[in-house]
Amino acid sequence: METNNNLNPFSKITADKLKCVGEQYQTPLYVYDEALIKQRCKELNNLSAPYGKVIRYALKANTLAGILRIIDQAGLSFEASSLLEVLRAQHAGIAINKILLTSQETYDREGWQVLKPLLKQGLQLNLCSLKQLDDYSQNIQEPYPLSLRLHPGQGSGESASRNTGDAYACFGIHQRDLPAALQKIETAKLTVARIHMHIGSGGNPKLWLKHVDTQLKLIQEHFPAATILNLGGGLKEARMPEEKAADVHELFQEALKKVEAFYQKTGRQLIMEIEPGSWIMANSGYGLTKIMDIKSTGAYDFLVCDGGMDLNLRPLLYGARHPLYLVRANGERLFSPFWDAGDRDYVVNGCCCESGDSQTLNALGEIEPRRLKQPEVGDYCIIGGLGAYGSSMAASNYNSHLAPAEVLVKENGETVLLKRRQNLNHLCQNEILYDEFL
């Protein structure tokens, strides 16, 4: 039992502070912890890599401009999953030559018109299919160093839908298509400088390491000009007290040993790249909700909060478990899964008209009540682990709910608004009223 008013062991933001932020900016609300974001970036910057390293933050985890600026200032580079994500990062002030674009997208003439000047400015393009390779060689004449995403053949993730490496995931060029890809590369006289694989999110670290061998073998056999080994993201962050985070330092050291052995064997020094999203951002963000109602069906007791799937879609999407904290309306911590024993089971719901709008679901979409303490209407229910894949993924406008404001708690304790709450006008502004057709 921790007697201070903190919510967990990794953040200095207290229950009382979150209550004040909730009062000032109105719930539901995303709140981020600058100190923890910076600490995570620093830990990654400290990883040793004698032949060079690039740490790319996976933009999809959280694409808010204010967050990107913190990560940029901490010296990280970026990984984008769509052309619009690249443009959004540019809008936030990120230099184009710090971004690697790895996408399932293919582009029409208009798309290439947007891409071409970006490539000139140093955007790096990671090609993920034979069609992308064809399109690239038809559209680009300049000898930019190329990057290839290869399908690992075997993947691992926290759930099947977060495994990007098995046969049912179509990310990257499958190794059965490698001969065709190599043929196209030779014909178009392209130079492959980077080989990339991403096995999934939050999966088995042993498999993550095994793919270092797979990649090195491919580089040795087929890519004599490759200088960069990109190992993807997916490093597991522990959101719940019973989870174990990936030991990034140890994993990187083990990967480095393989890269050193490769150098001894081939004389080739490879730059190492990783692209974590969750590991940097997950625990740096909270979803603040207020308990609006408390109900029971006899079988289950429900806390109905003013934010749910519109704040955090992950439980409904793949049964993800997030820590749920309870804070009294006066700012006192009532319950933290890290320190307090609960005494009553609750289903924690949002207020969308959807029975799956619950923060307490398992991977089958079934209700799995959480042992908490008994709160009152007006207390706060705070969803932890929501800095990554929270606001960037939520079903924010379902039931015409407004996307929440997003606030940063700075290292010195001050709060800054990073994004305003939507208003009714934002919901309707692109709609065309039927009358206008008449």
Contact positions vs ligand PLP (CB under 6 A): 58, 61, 79, 102, 164, 198, 201-202, 232-235, 275-279, 388
3-state secondary structure of 85: helix
To ligand PLP, the closest distance from the beta carbon of 110 in angstroms equals 25
To ligand PLP, the closest distance from the beta carbon of 1 in angstroms equals 32
CB-nearer residue toward ligand PLP: 126 or 336: 126
To ligand PLP, the closest distance from the beta carbon of 163 in angstroms equals 10
CA distances from 126 to 53, 54, 79, 98, 100 (A): 17, 15, 10, 13, 7
CB-nearer residue toward ligand PLP: 163 or 289: 163
To ligand PLP, the closest distance from the beta carbon of 279 in angstroms equals 6
CB-nearer residue toward ligand PLP: 33 or 306: 33
CB-nearer residue toward ligand PLP: 202 or 390: 202
Which one, of 91, 31, 74, 82, lies nearest residue 58 by Cα? 82
Query: Is 385 in contact with 239 (CB distance < 8 Å)?
Result: yes
Question: In 15-143, at which residue ranges do the beta strands (DSSP E only) sit?
Answer: 29-33, 53-58, 77-80, 99-102, 124-127
CB-nearer residue toward ligand PLP: 290 or 314: 314
CB-nearer residue toward ligand PLP: 235 or 418: 235
What span, in angstroms and rounded, lies between the C-alpha atoms of 56 and 43?
A: 13
To ligand PLP, the closest distance from the beta carbon of 207 in angstroms equals 14
Q: 5 CB contacts (<8 Å, ≥6 apart)?
A: 14, 15, 16, 331, 332, 333
Q: 433 CB contacts (<8 Å, ≥6 apart)?
A: none
What span, in angstroms and rounded, lies between the C-alpha atoms of 38 and 69?
A: 11
CB-nearer residue toward ligand PLP: 18 or 70: 70
To ligand PLP, the closest distance from the beta carbon of 102 in angstroms equals 5
What span, in angstroms and rounded, lies between the C-alpha atoms of 54 and 77?
A: 7
Give, for 181, the enclosing helix (H) or strand (E).
helix 178-187
3-state secondary structure of 148: strand
To ligand PLP, the closest distance from the beta carbon of 234 in angstroms equals 4
Question: In 309-358, at which residue ranges do the beta strands (DSSP E only) sit?
Answer: 324-327, 333-335, 344-349
CB-nearer residue toward ligand PLP: 321 or 370: 321
Which one, of 272, 375, 364, lies nearest residue 329 by Cα? 375
CB-nearer residue toward ligand PLP: 279 or 325: 279
CB-nearer residue toward ligand PLP: 22 or 200: 200
Which one, of 320, 307, 302, lies nearest residue 389 by Cα? 320
3-state secondary structure of 115: helix
Name the DSSP class of 176.
Answer: G
To ligand PLP, the closest distance from the beta carbon of 162 in angstroms equals 7
To ligand PLP, the closest distance from the beta carbon of 277 in angstroms equals 3
Name the DSSP class of 333.
Answer: E
To ligand PLP, the closest distance from the beta carbon of 248 in angstroms equals 10
To ligand PLP, the closest distance from the beta carbon of 74 in angstroms equals 16
CB-nearer residue toward ligand PLP: 22 or 202: 202
Using alpha carbons only, give the angle 422, 394, 83 rounded to the nearest 5 degrees.
90
Give, for 291, the enclosing helix (H) or strand (E).
strand 285-296
**Helix 65-73 with 34-45: angle, nearest 10 deg:** 40
